[in-house]
Amino acid sequence: MPSADDTALSVSELNRDARQLLESGIGEVWVEAELSGVSRPASGHVYFTLKDERAQLRCALFRNRARFVTAPMRDGDRVKVRGRVSLFEPRGDFQLIAEAVQPAGEGELLAAFERLKAKLDAEGVFTNARALPFPPRHLLVLTSPTGAAIRDVLAVLAARWPMSQVTLIPVPVQGREAAPALIAALGLLNRQSTLEPERDAILVTRGGGSLEDLWAFNDEHLARAIFHSRLPVMSAVGHEVDVTLADFAADSRAPTPSAAAERLVPDAAALRQRLVQLEERLTRSQRARLDTQGQRLDHLRARLRHPGEVLAYRRRQLEQLQGRLRRAMNARLAERREGERHLRQRLTLRSPQWQVEQAEQRLTLAARRLRRSMPRSLARHRERLAAVSRELQAVSPLAILGRGYSILETSEGHVVKRADDTRPGERLAARLGEGHLTLEVLSPVTDPSAPDHN
């Protein structure tokens, strides 16, 4: 039998042998369990624990494999992990070196979720969009009394709006009894709203978890109860990436319980800061207005003079105006007097008596000139008349008739110039130098040698 000195192993040797035995003996396996204690140090590796009702298993997901994992890996999530069994030699810890991580059982749940979503959407359950009062007078919170959600909501409400009136309606938020309890609480609160009208908003909330953990909020009866609620409902279930049918049916949705509290009430500190800013703006505005009015007052004060000075100035102005008025009136009167004098002269010169006297004088002078010029004018005109008479007598037809000629005229008054112009038996009137004769044509003579009279 070998001695203890010949067979004793060091701890490191034993752990090495155990690691090699585990890795070669078991190899790669799939393990389904719940995540716990997820840690992500700066190295990029992910360390977590898989647990069920009776045991736990430490796991390590190294950086080169962690970048291929798309699942969020949150505490409480149920996952399937593929890896190889190993031993961490420095501490002798039994562990699983993970190669891949994926959600467990979410495929069937997601399919059921999509079917219910399409069904309720077709029924119009997702059409609520009422505005929640801001802030609500009395907020009713349906959640677990021991969960992190109520602590987050109360902490945010106390920080943002300390005067909020909040009533916790304790209900289970996970498991089979969660959905019926939520439906019953909604019905009770809606019935009580007629008696207590100050209760004006409902918040349905819980913290994050796996799809299975949140499945109660995907209950179609709960979605319908939220849709038919007379009080407006806000839903805040899980984290930002979690979406439930309750979120779609509610009037408003928040990504987290804290975000819901922030949306429900204003930020008192921000309002206080806003009031301070408005007060400062009002103060600056009033100060600027006072400065402007002060400058205007100084300007008006500079323009304002003593009433005695104003009266003296007005008196001087009045005296100047009176002097100008007197000068203007005197000049106007002098002008009027001069005009009257000229008018009187004109009236005197152009009086009817004066005009008659002037006309008589002109008539006397004209008669005198007429008497002097009349004999000379008559003699001149007589001589002119005698000369014209002599000239006229020389060319007058009557003078020719006086020398024995006559003028023959037909009965129509035409002068006979040729014998051919007459007819045998035609009566002609003969104008002589003294008197007239009536002649009868016996026979016209056309001989040019014959005398040119009848």
CATH number of 256's domain: 3.40.50
As a whole number of angstroms, the distance between CA 94 and CA 88 comes to 6
As a whole number of angstroms, the distance between CA 99 and CA 60 comes to 9
Q: Is residue 186 part of a domain?
A: yes
- Over residues 305-355, the pLDDT tens digits come to 777 877 888 889 999 999 999 999 999 999 988 888 888 777 666 667 777
Give residue 180's pLDDT. Answer: 94
Given a cut of 50, is residue 227 above it in pLDDT?
yes
Domains in the chain, number: 3
Burial of 151 (0-12, 13-18, 19+ CB in 10 A): middle
Give residue 262's pLDDT. Answer: 92
pLDDT-derived band at 220 (thresholds 50, 70, 90) equals very high
Same domain? For 172 and 187 the reply is: yes
Same domain? For 113 and 98 the reply is: no
Structural domain ending residue among the three candidates 82, 104, 126: 104
Same domain? For 149 and 233 the reply is: yes
pLDDT-derived band at 268 (thresholds 50, 70, 90) equals confident
Rounded (5°) CA angle 156-158-159 = 65
Cα atoms found within 13 Å of the Cα of residue 293, Cβ hemisphere only: 6
Same domain? For 29 and 74 the reply is: yes
Residue pair 113/93 in contact by the 8 Å Cβ criterion: no
Q: Is residue 166 part of a domain?
A: yes
Same domain? For 190 and 259 the reply is: yes
Q: Is residue 318 part of a domain?
A: no
Q: Is residue 68 part of a domain?
A: yes
Which range of residues forms the domain containing residue 229? Answer: 109-269
Give residue 361's pLDDT. Answer: 87
Give residue 282's pLDDT. Answer: 93
Same domain? For 133 and 233 the reply is: yes
pLDDT-derived band at 359 (thresholds 50, 70, 90) equals confident
Same domain? For 37 and 60 the reply is: yes
Give residue 366's pLDDT. Answer: 87
Same domain? For 135 and 171 the reply is: yes
As a whole number of angstroms, the distance between CA 147 and CA 381 comes to 158
Q: Is residue 134 part of a domain?
A: yes
Same domain? For 133 and 232 the reply is: yes
- Cα 249 to Cα 117, 129, 181, 440, distances in angstroms: 10, 9, 17, 151
Instruction: Print the SS3 string covering 84-115.
Output: EEEEECCCCEEEEEEEEEEECCHHHHHHHHHH
Same domain? For 124 and 211 the reply is: yes
Q: Is residue 63 part of a domain?
A: yes
Give residue 453's pLDDT. Answer: 47
Q: Is residue 369 part of a domain?
A: no
Structural domain ending residue among the three candidates 60, 80, 104: 104
Give residue 330's pLDDT. Answer: 92
Residue pair 47/41 in contact by the 8 Å Cβ criterion: yes
Most confident of 27-31, 203-207, 390-394: 203-207
Q: The CATH number of the domain where 25 resides is what?
A: 2.40.50.140
Query: Bigger pLDDT: 206 or 300?
Result: 206
Element (H, E) at 408: strand 407-409
What average pLDDT does the structure give for the chain?
A: 85
Same domain? For 261 and 118 the reply is: yes
Query: Bigger pLDDT: 78 or 108?
Result: 78
Tell if the pTM clears 0.75, that is, is over it.
no
Same domain? For 100 and 114 the reply is: no
Q: Is residue 263 part of a domain?
A: yes
Structural domain ending residue among the three candidates 269, 301, 328: 269
